[in-house]
Amino acid sequence: MLSLGSGCLVLALGVALYGIAASLYGARGRAGAGSRAWVDSGRRAVYATAGVVLVAFGVLEAAFLRSDFALSVVADHSSTTTPTFYRATAVWSSQEGSLLLWVVLLGLWSSLMLFLTRRRAREVAPYATAVLLGFAVFFLSLLVFLENPFDRAQTVVAEGAGLNPLLRHPSMMIHPPMLYSGYTLFAVPFAFAVGALITRRLDAEWIRLTRPFTLAAWFFLGCGILLGARWSYTELGWGGYWAWDPVENASLMPWLIGTAFLHSVMIQEKRGMLKIWNVSLVLATGVLAILGTFLVRSGILNSIHAFGASTLGVPFLILIGAMIAGSVALVLSRASDLRSDARLDSLLSREAVFLLNNLVLVGLCFVIFWGTFFPLISEAVTGNEASVGPPWFDRYIVPLSLILVLLSGIGPVVAWRRATAANLRRNLARPGAVGVLALVVLLLAGVSGSVGALLMFALAAFVFAAVGQELWRGVRARRAMSSDSVPRALVSLVQRNRRRYGGYLVHVGVAVLFAGVAASSAFQDARDVQLQVGQSAKVGGYDLTYVRPTSKLEAASNGRLEKIDLGAVMRVSRGGKQVGTLRTERSFFPSADPTLGPVSRFFEGEATSEVGLRAGLRRDVWSAISPSVRDLRKQVAEGDRVFNGAKALPPVQRDIALAEALSGLTRSYTVNPPAATFRLIVSPLVSWIWIGALIVFAGGLIALWPPLRRAPRPVAARYAARVARELGRA
Amino acid sequence: MARTETCGHNGGVDPARKRKLRFVIALSCALLLASALIYTSFSASSEARTPSQLAAAAKPGRVYELTGKVQPGSISSRGTTHRFRVRDREGHVSIPVSYTGALPDPFRDGREIVVDVRKRGATFVGERDTLVTKCPSKFTAEKKT
Amino acid sequence: MDVLLVLVVLAVVVFVVSRPLRGGHAEAVEASESAQRAGLEAAKEAKYAEIRDAELDHRMGKLSEEDWRAQDRTLRAEAMEVLRRLDELGPED
């Protein structure tokens, strides 16, 4: 079975290489009438590559599900005690498995795109095919020559190393496929842009055809980023959701540029403007997506995600260098074909706002890029490796984000081409007043200490008011034309202008999200305290009391002991009244080191936090515990001793003795608990970050949804007739 | 697609010159911001150092980014303050570090960490919330054997 | 056993990929002219959308009467140009 996997990878590599050759040969038209056939064959090579790679993936999945430790990758990342769901998803917790997943997804989306456009984009598609297969060849070469998932283990172990307990969470398992879907989906517009540049077919066709994939990429990448942030907040023991870690930044950068691209292409479709911007943005998105994959997989930057230094750094750098050089060369050589069809009429127009939006998003991306790569930049410039921390990022991200939210409120209110200045002033007056009012109310309520946060709240209010006004006016205009009831008018308004109103909803979601981020960063109260049973700590207006300790032994599916949980129950009170309870614990997983004693083994392996979280609409109360394991050293040593005495016994009785030793430990922890260290955080408005993100995605879905097949007949016919009539008169 | 020629809104100004002016202003703003960014990044950054480098020469009061491995057996805690020694990835020189705050989940003997420290007397005091422990990578360990 | 399976997969792949070359099932050819037509049709739809958008903007008070009439005139002229070019392509076959 395993040779089938390896064989499939080699086969896929061969087919992909053939596909590139066939597509390019057919595209050049040298084969005369047969060129079409070569192009079609190239397209089928994409389907074949996808299929073969899928077979290889299936073989790998089967090996994981079967716990086939003949494969070293299975032995290193899974075990017989790992639950089935995590065994299936452990495939992509490994370097090799994740590269294979990347190719599977690339094959899937490429096949879908080329199938949907098999009768269109005749000139562009072959080159796009070659680019997509080029990516496939790169990743397959890595898989075949450097990181083969089907490498056999030198010695077959009886039990695998198991999945890192930190990864044992559903979000953590969905997060990589989401991110990779985002990256690979961005490869499609990238490939078509390259094809369009090569063939000089630079009207909006390639944009139109690839739009569903661009939107889907934006959506999945955004989901992936969000899942990572939420996992960090609810599962890790530090209580934050974003650390400006290089790997986090690696996924945010392509998303920001992708957002700029999605906005900017609307201008090209409407007015034939910003062509150079658009090809540059989409090429940059593709490069950043590969760069993101590179950052995560090469270990080149210090990061909490560092998967270890690997041999993949150099090949990726070569690919990225080639992509950048190729993109720049293409854009420069096609500059004359990328001239705008029209010019910016006025700064008071939606086009101008979109242009500013491009600039702000690119600015944000540049700040993040600079900060992320600063260790390498400073080493190149000064010879010393230096890094910048979150405070430096915040200094630039905060003002740029404020401008972004401001623009997202102004954009919906301004008209295309040229807005009447007086009208614009009038239309912005009410939302502006709401924003100022919000600021005044907050100041009067005593909210102070952070200018940035206050401004963000005011701007969020401004955005709500602006979008609300738009909806209200739109409904009124609709009702004037059709005499629908208000709900019906609203529904049909949105249905007829899905992109516009879906987009407005996204802006509302972004404003909510930023408001949540501002509140939870600026007004958070975090405390690291040591508490004895019965002691309390005051955090953010709450009293958190360590009520009693908890301890538990957890067995895995095969009866073996999986982990020891030591934790606490805490009482949350406010103003003397109890408002809730928190349960938090630390799970201790055993190390595989055979030199350690059977009990001390548990405290030398991995430990994960079970966060005690009381989430609310107004604030979150968050707690994590670090039991003092050092104070248990005596009991642990005792347990080891007791167990060593039982070594000579048969296995069943040995297990019983181990269970007794451990139960003794947990009992003693409950009866005589040492003081424990707690991290306690009270954060306002955190839940609105997740709610805001959901609103963004709902808005994205509305905008994504394919439009009603036919514009309403009467309206279209009326315009067409009028234009045709005037045409006859002219 | 028809080319639209529009007159400037305020009468006499040549639209082409207006556009050029806008472009120059925008470019200047961008360059200004970029320079501010680049300048502050060099001044606000903390240099990466290994334990042996810090043991040899460290200016008191200046923040450095320390990278190294936690020396096995060196961790001791009192309340929320932890003391441990950090040594070079490959080597034996180690320096004492004191860190106040919650330790990250993966933190333990032998793990690779990154922390911002400031020399105070004979110890290096860690800056709050800057301790990062790298997730251990099983396959690199495998490759070494 | 495995080698046999790989050979089977290889055979399927060769069959699928070579089908167009063996003279089967070429996709219906879309002449470059109809690609041009598709582009102009899309431009026409985009223009109509712009005309409708401008009217909606006017109704919602973002454009003054004067500004709207000017834009509407321009947009309709552009739409007429597109229709003229579509007609130049000849009747749809």
Tell me the per-residue pLDDT of B70-105, one tens digit each, with 9 for 90 and over.
998 888 888 889 999 999 888 888 999 999 988 887
Instruction: Find the range with the poorest average confidence among A99-113, A296-310, B14-28, C37-51.
Output: A296-310
Predicted local confidence at residue A589, as pLDDT: 86
Predicted local confidence at residue A1, as pLDDT: 60
Q: Which amino acid is at A70?
A: A
Q: How far is B11 from chain C (nearest CA, A)?
A: 16
Taking CB atoms and an 8 Å limit, are A389 and B109 in contact across chains?
Answer: no
d(CA A311, CA B140): 11
Predicted local confidence at residue C29, as pLDDT: 54
Q: Is the pLDDT of residue B9 over 70?
A: no
Q: Is the pLDDT of residue A133 over 70?
A: yes
Express as a percent the part of chain A with pLDDT over 90: 51
- Neighboring chain B residues of A237 at a CB cutoff of 8 Å: 102, 104-105
Q: For the residues A423-440, what does the mean pLDDT come to?
A: 92
Q: What tens digit of pLDDT does each residue of A658-714 get?
A: 777 788 888 888 888 888 999 999 999 999 999 999 999 999 888 877 765 544 444
Instruction: Find the range with the poorest average confidence among A549-553, B5-9, B94-98, B101-105.
Output: B5-9
Q: How far is A539 from chain B (nearest CA, A)?
A: 15
Instruction: Find the range with the poorest average confidence among A214-218, A244-248, A418-422, B109-113.
Output: A418-422
Helix (H, G, I), strand (E, B) or coil at A533: coil
**Which residues in chain A (226-255) have CB-CB distances under 8 A to chain B?**
236-238, 245
Instruction: Find the range with the poorest average confidence among A96-100, A296-300, A500-504, B133-137.
Output: B133-137
Closest Cα in chain C to A471: C60
d(CA A679, CA A546): 12
Q: How far is B118 from chain A (nearest CA, A)?
A: 15
- Neighboring chain B residues of A398 at a CB cutoff of 8 Å: none
Confidence of residue A158 (pLDDT cuts 50, 70, 90): confident
Taking CB atoms and an 8 Å limit, are C76 and A38 in contact across chains?
Answer: no
Q: Is the pLDDT of residue B138 over 80?
A: no
Instruction: For residue A216, give both structure tokens.
Output: 């889907």
**Residue recorded with tokens 């991110």:** A179
- Give the CA diameter of chain C: 80
Whether C83 and chain B come into contact, CB under 8 Å, resolves to no
> Between these two residues, B44 and B13, which has the higher pLDDT value?
B44
- Neighboring chain B residues of A395 at a CB cutoff of 8 Å: 40
Taking CB atoms and an 8 Å limit, are A423 and C10 in contact across chains?
Answer: no
How many cross-chain Cβ pairs, A to B, lie less than 8 Å apart? 141
- How long, in residues, is chain B? 145
Nearest to A48 among C17, C35, C51 (CB): C17
- Strands B94-100, B123-126: pairing is parallel
Q: For the residues A476-496, what does the mean pLDDT come to?
A: 85
Phi, psi of A241, deg, nearest 5: -115, -5
Predicted local confidence at residue A504, as pLDDT: 94
Q: Of C51, C56, C58, C74, which to mutate for an interface test with A (greatest number of A Cβ within 10 Å)?
A: C56
Taking CB atoms and an 8 Å limit, are A607 and B26 in contact across chains?
Answer: no
Q: Is the pLDDT of residue A37 over 90?
A: no
d(CA A589, CA A554): 10
Express as a percent the part of chain A with pLDDT over 70: 94
Q: What tens digit of pLDDT does each residue of A196-244 get?
A: 999 998 878 888 889 889 989 999 999 999 999 998 899 888 889 999 9
Q: For the residues A34-43, what does the mean pLDDT come to?
A: 88
Q: Which amino acid is at B28?
A: S
Helix (H, G, I), strand (E, B) or coil at A579: strand
d(CA A120, CA A125): 8
Which class for A706: exposed (0-12), middle (13-18), buried (19 or more C-beta within 10 A)? exposed
Which range of A317-321, A368-372, A484-488 scores highest in mean pLDDT? It is A368-372
Confidence of residue A306 (pLDDT cuts 50, 70, 90): low
The pTM of this model reads 0.89
Helix (H, G, I), strand (E, B) or coil at A130: helix
Whether A491 and chain B come into contact, CB under 8 Å, resolves to no
Taking CB atoms and an 8 Å limit, are A306 and B137 in contact across chains?
Answer: yes
Q: What tens digit of pLDDT does each residue of C47-84 get?
A: 888 888 888 888 888 888 888 898 889 889 888 888 88
Instruction: For residue C51, give both structure tokens.
Output: 């005309």
Q: For the residues A81-103, what does the mean pLDDT come to?
A: 89
Predicted local confidence at residue C52, as pLDDT: 82
Q: Is the pLDDT of residue A402 over 50?
A: yes
Confidence of residue B144 (pLDDT cuts 50, 70, 90): very low
Handedness of CA A365, A368, A373, A377 (dihedral sign): positive
Are A142 and A16 within 8 A, CB to CB?
no
- Give the CA diameter of chain A: 107
How many cross-chain Cβ pairs, B to C, lie less than 8 Å apart? 9
Predicted local confidence at residue C92, as pLDDT: 56
- Neighboring chain C residues of B1 at a CB cutoff of 8 Å: 43, 78, 81-82
Q: What tens digit of pLDDT does each residue of A342-385 get?
A: 788 788 888 899 999 999 999 999 999 999 999 888 888 888 88
Are A470 and A459 within 8 A, CB to CB?
no
For chain A, give the mean pLDDT: 88
Confidence of residue A558 (pLDDT cuts 50, 70, 90): low
Q: How far is B122 from chain A (nearest CA, A)?
A: 23
- Neighboring chain B residues of A385 at a CB cutoff of 8 Å: 47-48
- Neighboring chain B residues of C82 at a CB cutoff of 8 Å: 1
Q: For the residues A549-566, what does the mean pLDDT come to?
A: 82
Radius of gyration for the alpha carbons in chain C, expressed in angstroms and rounded: 25
Taking CB atoms and an 8 Å limit, are C53 and A11 in contact across chains?
Answer: no
Residue A385 Ramachandran class (φ > 0 left, ψ -120 to 50 alpha, else beta):
beta
Nearest to B65 among A309, A387, A604 (CB): A387
Predicted local confidence at residue A132, as pLDDT: 97
- Strands A525-531, A676-684: pairing is antiparallel
d(CA B80, CA B100): 6
Instruction: Name the nearest CA neighbour of A122 among A49, A184, A38.
Output: A38
Confidence of residue B139 (pLDDT cuts 50, 70, 90): very low
> Between these two residues, A707 and A284, which has the higher pLDDT value?
A284
CA distances from A391 to A387, A394, A398, A459, B64 (A): 12, 5, 10, 22, 15
Predicted local confidence at residue C63, as pLDDT: 82
Q: Is the pLDDT of residue B43 over 70?
A: yes
Number of C-beta neighbours around residue A213 at 10 A:
22
Taking CB atoms and an 8 Å limit, are C17 and A720 in contact across chains?
Answer: no
